[in-house]
Chains A and B, each alone.
Chain A
Amino acid sequence: GAGVSQSPSNKVTEKGKDVELRCDPISGHTALYWYRQSLGQGLEFLIYFQGNSAPDKSGLPSDRFSAERTGGSVSTLTIQRTQQEDSAVYLCASSVAGTSGQIQYFGPGTRLLVL
């Protein structure tokens, strides 16, 4: 079946502009995660949605980052007033449920470059 999809694949923006990144999880998956992968760094957890519960925002690096999930499916990660250090690959993952040890399946990522 279809995997996790993300759009756009690549995004180039200017410092100070806002960007929106989209994630479509695997159909039927109730849990959705956002991660950031910077050059030379490991994947860094950003935010987690489980069903209609309030999201776990513990990994968001600053208040310029926000995310929402509409109808328990598609999610949008928004970065306001982008900075050059925001340049990274943003990865989305989904799992069947947010319970212990559930496998997270990743999308191909959005490569963001802030000039």
Chain B
Amino acid sequence: EDQVTQSPEALRLQEGESSSLNCSYTVSGLRGLFWYRQDPGKGPEFLFTLYSAGEEKEKERLKATLTKKESFLHITAPKPEDSATYLCAVQSGGGADGLTFGKGTHLIIQP
């Protein structure tokens, strides 16, 4: 059974204070690892897809990396508008086509 564990559950940072969010996963054949951002009352918004260990992707203040067991979402010099819940999900070769999600990291950036 595919499993995704995100840590920490919640993180409070000062504006400009860089940090990383962790996503540990167990899958039977990784087809893709996805990062989404979810604002209160809205659906998840796609950020990144990573397919193989060693891959990295960047977008503005965010950078996602992938190893064989985990992914990190690095946030550099965050701003208050980066406050949201960040979700990690995997799609495996185990049969089911839906994504398996972690419970998310609730990030608060204080001005």
- A residues engaging B (CB < 8 A)? 4, 31, 33, 35, 40-48, 50, 56, 58-59, 91, 93, 98, 100-109
B32: A residues at CB distance < 8 A = 100-102
Q: How far is the CA of A58 from the CA of B98 in the complex (A)?
A: 9
With both chains docked as a complex, state the minimum distance between the C-beta of B89 and any C-beta of chain A, in angstroms. Answer: 7
The count of A-to-B residue pairs whose CB atoms sit within 8 angstroms is 72
Total count of chain B residues near the partner, CB < 8 A: 27
Known contacts A35-B98, A42-B103; A100/B31 CB under 8 A: yes
Contact residues of B between 48 and 65, Cβ < 8 Å to A: 49, 51
B96 touches A101 (CB 8 A): no
A45's nearest neighbour on chain B, judged by CB, is B98
> By CB atoms of chain B within 10 A, which of A35, A41, A42, A93 has the most?
A42
Contact residues of B between 61 and 110, Cβ < 8 Å to A: 87, 89, 91, 93, 95-104
> By CB atoms of chain A within 10 A, which of B46, B87, B98 has the most?
B98
Known contacts A58-B95, A103-B34; A91/B43 CB under 8 A: yes
